[in-house]
Structure formats: C-alpha cells, structure tokens
Amino acid sequence: MSLLGIFLIILAGLLLFLLEILVIPGITIAGIGALILMGLAVYLAFSAFGVLTGLIVLLVVLFLIIILIIIAFRARTWKRVSLSTEIGSKVENANDHGLKPGDEGITLTRLAPVGTVQFGEERIEGHSEGPFIDHKVEVVIVRIASTYVIVKPKKS
C-alpha cells in the first residue's frame, strides 16, 4: 500500500466523520465507517512503512480529527448552514378587528363547533357557544378570545 492510498483512505474517513458530525448525528454507519477507515489507514501505515511512519500517520489522523471537531462545532460554522430568516407574520388577534361582545354577524361556514363568521367586511374564526350552528345564520358575539370569537345564534 502506498502513502497515496493511505492518504485517500484517511480522506474518505474524514469525509465520513464530517458527514457524521454535520448531517447524521448519533452513532451511524458514517461514524462507524469513518472509524474503520481511519483505523485501517493507521494499521496499513504501521504494517507497510514501519513504526515511525505509523506513528506519524496516527498523530496526523488524531490532529485532523481534532481540527475537524473544532471547525464543526464553532458557532460561525453553524450560522452558515442554519436558517436565519425571521417570521414576519403574526397570529391574527380578534381584538384587532374592533369587535366587541354584542356585535352581530353571519356564519359563512357551519360552526361545528368551529367555523368562519363575517362581521361587516371582517372574516374571523368563530366558535359556537352551544350546539352546532349552520351556515348563513345570524349570530351574536358572546365573548372574545385572543384569536377567535365565541358566538351564539341571534334570537329572532
């Protein structure tokens, strides 16, 4: 086995090790494969070139693993691969529509027990206070929760 072959085995082991750290966390085939390949490279260096070359290859492999771990766990490395967009939307708040208890509207869908209710031009999620309410039924707001209104059928 030549030094180039040993170098290629070490490189393949380091790539599997990097894959293990960044993509497939845990102890998987990539991590086990990396350990086997790097161990094989060190073994081949000892058996083909003697103790001195084997120790040099062992130290180089350990040094490269330590450097790879340091680079992989730096915050800047993770910032490059992390999603950093902000969510600009927010949950619609029922109080933002200027609604108040006693306002009248009409159901656009069946409230069984949740559906859509229209108050003027505003469409908002409505919950039935009691039994199910069919669509196109006039309703009155009983109370307002943070993201929806609780309604009951309007008495004729």
Whether the per-residue pLDDT at 156 is higher than 70: the answer is: no
Q: 50: phi > 0 → left, psi -120 to 50 → alpha, else beta; which?
A: left
Taking all residues of the chain, what is their mean pLDDT, rounded to a whole number? Answer: 87
The upper half-sphere exposure of residue 105, i.e. CA atoms within 13 Å in the direction of its Cβ, equals 30
Q: Domain locations in the chain?
A: 3-81, 94-153
Q: What's the pLDDT at 94?
A: 66
Lowest mean pLDDT among 65-74, 76-85, 139-148: 76-85
CATH code at 94-153: 2.40.50.140
Whether the per-residue pLDDT at 63 is higher than 90: the answer is: yes
Cα–Cα distances (Å) from 55 to 6, 19, 46, 50, 152, in that order, read 13, 26, 7, 9, 82
